[in-house]
Chain A
Amino acid sequence: MSERSRTPRLTAAAALALLLFNYPFLAVFDVDVRVLGIPLLWAYLFTAWALVVALLAWLVRDI
């Protein structure tokens, strides 16, 4: 990945994060089901959040 492509990729990551953290994904996972004891919606949000953080870490790594 070149320095030049970092800006558009990170901007896309921001758009992805905004999408994952909002409607309609929230509505999709708003089901009264528990995964490993955890309500699905909670599990979804924290997992998506962790994935976004990992994506950011990957995108800003030194090249």
Chain B
Amino acid sequence: MWGTWIVVASVAYLGLLFAIAYYGDRRADRGRSIISNGYVYALSLCVYATSWTYYGSVGRAASTGLGFLPIYLGPTVMVALWWLVLRKILRICKQNRITSLSDFVSSRYGNSTLLGGLVTVIAVVGIVPYISLQLKAISTTFNIMRSPEPTAAASAQDVPLLQDTALYVALLLAAFTILFGTRHLDAAERHEGMVAAIAFESVVKLVAFLAIGCYVTFVLFPGLDGLLDQAAARPDLARLFTFEAAGGYTTWLWLTILSMLAILLLPRQWQVTVVENVDERHVKKAMWLFPLYMLLINVFVLPIAVAGLLTFGDGGTDADAFLLALPLAAEQPALALLVFIGGLSAATGMVIVETIALATMVSNSLVMPILLRWGGALVRRQRLGGLILGIRRTTIVLVLLLGFVYFRLAGDALALVSIGLISFAAVAQFAPAILGGLFWKGATRRGAIAGLVAGFAVWFYTLPLPSLVHAGWLSPAFVADGPFGLGILAPYALFGLAGLDTVSHSMLWSMLVNIGLFVCLSLAARPDPAEHFQAAVFVDVLTRPREGADARLWRGTAAVGELQGLLGRFLGREGAREALTAYGARTGADISPGADAHANLVHHVETLLGGAVGSTSARFMVASVVDEEPLGVREVMEILDETSQVLAYSRALEHKSAELEAATAQLREANVRLQELDRLKDDFVSTITHELRTPLTSIRAFAEILLDNPDLDGQQRESYLRVVVEETERLTRLINAVLDLAKLESGGSQWRLETVDVRQLLETSSQATAQLFRDRQVTLELELGEAVPAVKADRDRVVQVVVNLLSNAVKFSNPITGRVRLGLQVEDGAVRVDVQDNGPGIAVADQGIIFEKFRQGGDTDSGRPAGTGLGLPISREIIVHLGGRLWVDSEPGRGATFSFTLPVADERSAAAMGAETEC
């Protein structure tokens, strides 16, 4: 009955996953993605936590204390470097439609088929044990759950083949993966439904682990403190508290480095991190959520391990199974079931993503290139899309069955963690080729191939091969004394290097030969043109313009129709037509079947195909329909050098020309101003000359008369002399005014700022001009109203302005009927003074002119000007200097109102004016 429940729960859980994946795919088809946010992205990355994390960490903690931790600390270090590394990889993959790890490596080194195949083989060989580990976990835990004697571990080999749960689990997972991983051929290789399911699984395993952690620590035991007190009392457990149990610092460091590489290079991590990434910005969120998840899922590992050791002692129960054994022993079947489902989600998530990633690699980098070269009839078929999907589905089933076979054969020989570390060390071999190729343009294909082959060989010899001894396939002497008794070749102590744990030892030697060969061979020869070009594309991806330059490398001829036909074989006729139409609409290129395809279009088709069959095969297929002229080293070098030089030059030129433009604009402006000033100066000089000549002429004329006629009668003489004196006075006034204005304009005049009562100032001014008003018989009305706030101003200057305005008003008013009103009011924080007359008024056209020097409104032609023509310009200068405004309102025939304002004195404006005065 209990067994049935477990099966029902497991199947129900997998059914739920199907439902989520199905919903995710449906939403994606409708363009409303449910995975397009940073949280789902971060959760999907947590596929890193497999059943190894889930069950294996506790197992490792039970024997090594903190020793399980570097596997999770490493990724935390690596995510900090994602900003440097992952952004680059994402950009490259999006631009070049790279959909797998192998495709990335092959593409980086000039579309090398050999390299792509090599990476695929290493990945499959390295990962199959890891997949088998997951099957083992599911199978073992299922047996523990089902077994009537819960603490007795059931051995995998005891179960007949057809009753082995692992077989059915493998088949069920294959079905799931095929359904959601290879539904259709997508150019971007993204599987939204699958990602949604994986994110959900991440939540389930975290919740389950935290639940059992809390239960064990706080219910089974009296809290963390109490639990650890009990452990501290036992010397064999107390050693877990210190570093001693975790092994050496070297091992710790190697494990950290190993997991740093694994988080990027494991095919499943590459799949969720790079291929399934929807938006580069999601990386930011994942950079702290992902390590946070790792932290949370590891918090209870040590307490559970200690609790397991306290409960079960040393005998019987495998520490890897503590997680289940504890709730079962406490007779909490529901909790045990939750833990089991959590473990199931950890294992299934890993298996699904890993097999999809491997299937893409196998079909794109291994099978397709072989078929294209030697496949003959198979490849000439019209529809290749179905063939590729078929290859992938077969691969998925094969990989899972391989995992199952490995599980049946290797069985219980190794703990969960050991198998996982072997896989980590395998994928770490990709690091020099990928990370090196990402930052070093000089890396070559030969270096990468040699490094990979040698690193892989050393890995195989030092890790999986000796582990076969545990399975009984090799004699223990092979490990102890080396092959044929050659101790120097002993796989766990190569060249006599003993004292390291097996993983550190293997990593040390394999990385040494891998990096050594990679660097030395790369330095030994220059990269060939294709490599050189790809190197630049990869290394400079963040600084290069997004599209374009690539197509320049291609030079050949192809008809659009041929390309469409080629595309149609993968994407279907409709798909191909749509893709080309979309391209035509976007770029405006001619996409009629007969037209010659532009190099950019050929490149576009190649990237589209690249998504489906991998870049190497895509290149091969495109080459089959176009007449391509090979490109020599020199041409590539020229294009590259040219491009970079031209870019540099053009940037420098742009900069210079921008500077020049700015300078030109300034010059032009200055020139205009100078011309204006020159014109003004000419005007000024001619006007002033004219103004000076008028009184001079009359003085001279009268003086000559007096000189020529010494016998003029006294009265006549006196009147002539009076004219001379008046004209001289006028001349003096004029010269004074000109000097005054020049001083004002040059800023050289002295200002005495003081607090001025405007009301009193106006009274003074009106008294000063009273005689003028009386002479002309013009009435002056004072409307000074209430007291107004004081202003900060130069008293004499303001009086000068008011007197000037009043005398102007008198001048232009008719005797007897003339009325001038002097008004004072407060307006918007300023004091406003109005001088209103009922004279002839000023034409609108003249209202601007009267403020110009020597320009007078009204009757300029009617003989002698009535003033110097400088009064208003000077007044305006004064008022503007004091922070106010002077203007006129007038309509011809209705008089004119001259008004000015002065800002009311407050602390600030007073200070500002003070500062202005000083400078």
Contact = CB atoms under 8 A, between A and B. Distances in A.
Contacts of A7: 83-84
A10 B242 contact: no
Interface in A4-55: 6-7, 10-11, 13-14, 17-18, 21-23, 26-27, 30, 32, 34, 36-39, 41-42, 45-46, 49-50, 52-54
A34 to B, nearest CB: 7
B252 interface: yes
A54 B252 CA distance: 23
Contacts of A59: 80
Given A10-B83, A53-B291, A26 B252 contact: yes
B77 A17 contact: yes
Contacts of A45: 66, 69, 73
Contacts of A23: 249, 252-253
Contacts of A54: 288
A53 B77 CA distance: 10
A21 B66 CA distance: 12
B224 A22 contact: no
Interface string B268-296: 00000000000000001101100110010
Contacts of A57: 287-288
Nearest to B226: A37
A5 to B, nearest CB: 11
A3 to B, nearest CB: 10
A3 B637 CA distance: 33
A40 to B, nearest CB: 8
Contact of B288 (A11, A37, A56): A56
Nearest to B74: A21
Contacts of B83: 6-7, 10-11, 60
A30 to B, nearest CB: 4
Interface string B219-239: 000001100110010000010
B264 interface: no
A38 B224 contact: yes
A46 B253 CA distance: 17
A39 B228 contact: yes
A21 to B, nearest CB: 4
B70 interface: yes
Contact of B66 (A13, A27, A42): A42
B225 A18 contact: no
A60 B287 contact: yes
B243 A30 contact: yes
Interface size on B, as a range, is 35 or more
A46 B80 contact: no
A37 B229 contact: yes
Contacts of A62: 284
Contacts of B76: 17, 21, 49, 52-53, 56
> Which of A27, A39, A57 has the most chain B CB atoms closer than 10 A to its own CB?
A39
A54 B288 CA distance: 7
B79 interface: yes
B288 A27 contact: no
A56 B229 contact: no
A31 B224 CA distance: 19
B299 interface: yes
Nearest to A8: B84
B299 A56 contact: no
Contact of A22 (B229, B242, B252, B288): B252
B77 A21 contact: yes
Nearest to B80: A14
Nearest to B238: A32
Nearest to B87: A7
B78 interface: yes
A32 B232 CA distance: 10
A13 B80 CA distance: 6
Contact of A26 (B249, B285, B299): B249
Nearest to B281: A62
A49 B80 contact: no
Contacts of B253: 22-23
A37 B256 contact: no
Contacts of A26: 243, 249, 252
Contacts of B13: none
Contacts of B302: 42
B84 A10 contact: yes
B291 A27 contact: no
Contacts of A6: 83
B252 A14 contact: no
B288 A18 contact: no
A13 B76 CA distance: 10
Contacts of A52: 76, 80, 291
Given A21-B70, A37-B229, A38-B228, A11 B80 contact: yes
Nearest to B250: A23
B291 A46 contact: no
A10 B51 CA distance: 31
B567 to A, nearest CB: 38
Contact of B241 (A22, A42, A49): A42
Contacts of A38: 224, 228
A52 to B, nearest CB: 6
Contacts of A50: 295
A56 B81 contact: no
Interface string B817-850: 0000000000000000000000000000000000
A56 to B, nearest CB: 4
Given A14-B78, A21-B256, A39-B241, A53 B284 contact: no
Contacts of A39: 228, 241-242
B211 to A, nearest CB: 20
A30 B84 CA distance: 33
Interface in B244-261: 244, 249, 252-253, 256
A14 to B, nearest CB: 4
Interface in B64-117: 66, 69-70, 73, 76-84
Nearest to A54: B288
A48 B232 CA distance: 24
Contacts of B256: 18, 21-22
Contacts of B292: 53
A8 B119 CA distance: 31
B236 to A, nearest CB: 15
Given A14-B77, A53-B291, A30 B252 contact: no
B425 to A, nearest CB: 19
B299 A46 contact: yes
Contacts of B241: 32, 34, 39, 41-42
B596 to A, nearest CB: 42
A27 B249 contact: yes
> Which of B77, B242, B285, B302 has the most chain A CB atoms closer than 10 A to its own CB?
B77
A1 to B, nearest CB: 12
B225 A36 contact: yes
Nearest to B69: A45
A34 B81 CA distance: 34
A50 B76 CA distance: 10
Contact of A60 (B78, B242, B244, B284): B284
A58 B565 CA distance: 52
B60 to A, nearest CB: 15
Given A7-B84, A32-B242, A56-B287, A22 B249 contact: yes
A49 B73 CA distance: 8
A27 B299 CA distance: 21
Q: Which 5 A-B pairs have the closest CB atoms?
A: A37-B225, A14-B80, A39-B241, A57-B288, A23-B249
Interface of B: 66, 69-70, 73, 76-84, 224-225, 228-229, 232, 238, 241-244, 249, 252-253, 256, 284-285, 287-288, 291-292, 295, 299, 302
Interface of A: 6-7, 10-11, 13-14, 17-18, 21-23, 26-27, 30, 32, 34, 36-39, 41-42, 45-46, 49-50, 52-54, 56-57, 59-60, 62
11 contacts: A6-B83, A7-B84, A18-B256, A23-B249, A30-B244, A34-B232, A37-B229, A39-B228, A53-B292, A54-B288, A60-B288
Given A7-B83, A17-B77, A57-B287, 4 more contacts: A23-B253, A39-B228, A56-B79, A62-B284
